[in-house]
Amino acid sequence: LMIYLTLFLAHQIVRPLNRFVEYTRRIARGDFSPIQPAKRYKDEFSRLAIAINWMLDQLQKNQELYIQSRKMAAIGTLTSGIAHELNNPLNNICITTESLLDELEDLPENEKKKRLQDIYAQAERASGTVRNLLDFTRVDQPSFVHVSVHELLSSALRLTKHEMELSNVELKYLPAESGLLVQGDFGQLQQVFLNLIINAIQAMPRGGVLSISVGKEDPDQVRIDIADTGVGIPQAVISDIFDPFFTTKEKGTGLGLSISYSIIRKHGGKILVNSQINHGSTFSVYLAKSSGKRRPE
């Protein structure tokens, strides 16, 4: 009878415990729906269930508050960024036009031409900002073709070779196999790798090593790591770097990473970042591997 009683009691305790283990897994997956006490009468487990439900309620409220405050912060950065990016060239246009009008009679022809060129350059700069913004929000699908990963990386490296030399950056790149393909828009993907490589170079103002590696352990996707040995990203801002107009650079636009993020998302991939202050950062781009056969329409 004692053995039976012990087994019965152990069963009564272990079964609800297992249920609670399952609940914790569900909560960890982000499902905050309340848990139901299994028995109608009250015991320690139903009190625990009530306490967990209260905790879930608080967690959900805090998460909503957090998401809302992140959205507000992103809108704030976006608005002040647009205002700043457009205000600067517009101000310059106003000042130059004003001076041109004031001194129109007295200025020599070449000075008039120079000021008009300044106005044109500033207008171009403003329209570049608007173009970037449109690129960022554009919903149209990229035109997918089979893109060779090696071609993509080597073309981005060719375009940044000069900056690398100027900044004393050593490149370590083991060329990806020529047959390694992804489905994508060559121009847009090239823009992503250009942004990542330029950011990496700029993170190493006193030189360093830029390592580019291509991982293909996964049969379905390619992982491209762009790693630098630069200044690193402070933990406090790492969640902001993909926000439009977030920049820590004096002449930065803060658009490179947000545009890259949206391009990679449109390609069904993802970008992850790992960084250690004063040791460097690694940006990992994941893209679906292409078999080289045409995709069914």
Q: Taking the CA atoms of 13, 14, 17 and 23 in sequence, report the sign of the dihedral they define.
A: negative
Name the minimum Å distance from CB 199 to ligand ADP.
3
- In the complex, the smallest distance separating the C-beta of residue 80 from ligand ADP, rounded to whole angstroms, is 14
Residues 198-227 that bind ligand ADP (CB under 6 A): 199-200, 203
Contact 214, 151 (CB under 8 A): no
Strands 280-290 and 270-276: antiparallel
# residues contacting ligand ADP (CB under 6 A): 21
Question: How many whole angstroms separate alpha carbon 202 and alpha carbon 232?
Answer: 11
What is the pattern of x (binds ligand ADP, CB under 6 A) and - over residues 256-275? xxx-----------------
Given 16, 89, 184, 254, the residue binding ligand ADP (CB under 6 A):
254
Q: Where are the beta strands (DSSP E) in the chain?
A: 145-148, 169-173, 181-184, 208-215, 221-228, 270-276, 280-290
Report yes or no: 236 and 67 within 8 Å, Cβ to Cβ.
no
195 counts as binding ligand ADP under rule CB under 6 A = yes
Considering the rule CB under 6 A, would residue 279 count as an interface residue with ligand ADP?
no
- For residues 232 and 277, the answer to whether their CB atoms sit within 8 Å is yes
Nearer Cβ to ligand ADP, position 230 or 269? 230
Distance CA 113, CA 101 (A): 13
Could you please report the per-residue DSSP string of 182-215?
EEE-HHHHHHHHHHHHHHHHHT-TT-EEEEEEEE
Task: Give me the residue label for tokens 């078999």.
Answer: 291
Give the residue with the Cβ less far from ligand ADP, 149 or 233.
233
Pick between residue 16 and residue 230 the one whose CB is nearest to ligand ADP: 230
In whole angstroms, how close is the CB of 33 to ligand ADP at the nearest point? 37
- Please say which residue, 180 or 271, places its beta carbon nearer to ligand ADP: 271
Please pick, from the candidates 183, 188, 247, 262, the single residue that binds ligand ADP as defined by CB under 6 A: 247
Site for ligand ADP (CB under 6 A): which residue of 252, 268, 272, 276?
Answer: 252
How far is the CA of 254 from the CAs of 27, 30, 136, in angstroms? 35, 31, 12
Q: What is the smallest separation between the CB atom of 266 and ligand ADP, expressed in angstroms?
A: 17
Closer to ligand ADP by CB, 187 or 252: give it.
252
Among 77, 96, 281, 290, which residue interacts with ligand ADP (rule: CB under 6 A)? 281
The reply to whether 253 sits near ligand ADP by the rule CB under 6 A is: yes
Sort strands 169-173 and 208-215 into parallel, antiparallel or unpaired.
Answer: parallel
Q: Between 45 and 193, whose beta carbon lies closer to ligand ADP?
A: 193
Residues that bind ligand ADP (CB under 6 A): 195, 199-200, 203, 228, 230-231, 233, 241, 246-249, 252-258, 281
